[in-house]
């Protein structure tokens, strides 16, 4: 598989650079789908869009019941897809959840999610990645500030910014229990990070990332320009956010757990090339490699 031209070079030396985005945020007309024009304009300007209660309480309850039953199986903790916290061994994330559990396979194809992703990305999409992130009460750890695209570009070989994530809250996301935080407008600037990527970096980075992390000055610049928002909401709330939007979340020391499922939709015209770091690609359960067919709707 060829290495395509690197339009967003990162981790090539000790310098940190801010590179203006050259890709559109909305691809195609942006008119054919469930997102109304005002919300589409908000997504384009801010780099994210929150939709409260996209799933009903009954739907969320069913998802959580099935997830809890599945997690009760001790074999789940031994899966390659299961990432544990350093030290405690508590489950931090489970990747490729759409292949591991039929409930999440159906949710990834739900028209409320899939058709919105197609509308923003301008056509057929596939799942680059999926995962459930857990932040149990009192012990949930933070996810430091980062742009997903920086990692997907450098370590997976995603050529262009034509992907997005949808975070669906499986519990109430409160101001106090480590909700997703995003920097409005940050998606228009690519932070080229310092350092060089070690081989098999994913084994450590999924627990705590050290490479591909923006420096304090860059984060201060982006936060000063656009601020920081935490689109909280009840379980069932969905947040659509651009692949280059700077985001992160605090730890959770409250009694209230916070769990979210993430689906990463990538355009079929933006499938992965060789990693730009020149190293071995990350495993398929973290980054789906092609050629990959378009994702079909649940009701197709």
Q: Which DSSP string do the residues of the chain spell out, in sequence order? A: -PPPP-SS--SSSS--EEEE--S-SS-TTS-SSSS-HHHHHHHHHHSEEEETTSS-HHHHHHHHHHHHHHHTSGGGGGSTTEEE-TTT--EEEEE-HHHH-HHHHHHHT-HHHHHHHHHHHTS-EEEEEEEEEEE-TTTBPPEEEE-HHHHIIIII---SS-EEEEEEESS-B-SSS---EE-TTGGGEEEEPPS-PPTTTHHHHTTS--SSPPPHHHHHHHHHHH--B---BSTT-EEEEETT--EEE--B-SSS-EEEEEEEEEEGGG---S-TTSSPPPPTTTS--SS-PPPPPTT-
Report field, pTM of the whole predicted structure over 0.75? yes
| End-to-end CA, the chain | 32
Of 11-15, 162-166, 249-253, which one has max mean pLDDT?
A: 162-166
How far, in Å, CA of 69 to CA of 103, rounded? 12
- The string of pLDDT tens digits covering residues 11-32 is 998 889 999 999 999 999 888 8
> Is a pLDDT exceeding 60 seen at residue 147?
yes
How far, in Å, CA of 132 to CA of 99, rounded? 12
Percent of the chain past pLDDT 70, that is, above it, reads 93
> Is a pLDDT exceeding 50 seen at residue 262?
yes
- The string of pLDDT tens digits covering residues 106-122 is 999 999 999 999 999 99
| CATH numeric code, 37-270 | 2.60.120.620
- 298 confidence band (pLDDT: 50, 70, 90): low
- The string of pLDDT tens digits covering residues 129-145 is 999 999 889 988 888 99
Pairing relationship of beta strands 91-95 and 125-135 according to DSSP bridges:
antiparallel
For 47, 235, 244, the CA distances from 151, given in Å and listed in that order, are 18, 28, 10
How far, in Å, CA of 241 to CA of 155, rounded? 20
The token pair at 239 is: 């947040």
């Amino acid at each position: 598989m060829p290495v395509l031209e690197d339009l967003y070079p990162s981790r090539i030396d000790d310098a940190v650079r801010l590179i203006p985005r050259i890709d559109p945020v909305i691809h195609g007309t942006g008119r054919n789908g469930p997102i109304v024009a005002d919300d589409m304009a908000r997504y384009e300007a801010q780099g994210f869009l929150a939709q409260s209660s996209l799933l009903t309480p009954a739907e969320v309850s069913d998802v959580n019941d099935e997830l809890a039953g599945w997690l009760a199986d001790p074999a789940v903790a031994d899966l390659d897809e299961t990432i544990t916290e350093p030290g405690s061994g508590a489950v931090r994330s489970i990747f490729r959840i759409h292949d591991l559990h039929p409930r999440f396979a159906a949710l990834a194809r739900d028209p409320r999610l899939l058709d919105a992703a197609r509308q923003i990305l301008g056509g057929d999409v596939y799942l680059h990645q999926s995962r459930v992130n857990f932040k149990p009460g009192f012990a949930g750890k933070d996810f430091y500030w980062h742009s997903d695209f920086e990692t997907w570009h450098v370590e997976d070989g995603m050529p262009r910014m034509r992907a997005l994530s949808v975070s669906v809250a499986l519990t109430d996301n409160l101001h106090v229990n480590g909700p997703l935080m995003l920097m409005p407008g940050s998606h228009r600037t690519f932070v080229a990070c310092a350092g060089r990527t070690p081989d098999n970096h994913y084994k450590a980075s999924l627990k705590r990332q050290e490479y591909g992390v923006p420096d304090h000055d860059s984060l201060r610049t982006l936060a000063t320009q656009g601020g920081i928002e935490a689109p909280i909401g009840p379980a069932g709330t969905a947040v659509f956010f651009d692949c280059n939007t700077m985001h992160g979340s605090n730890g959770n020391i409250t009694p209230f757990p916070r769990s979210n499922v993430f689906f990463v939709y990538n355009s079929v015209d933006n499938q992965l090339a060789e990693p730009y770091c020149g190293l071995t690609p990350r495993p398929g359960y973290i980054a789906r490699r092609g050629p990959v067919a378009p994702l079909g709707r649940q009701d197709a």
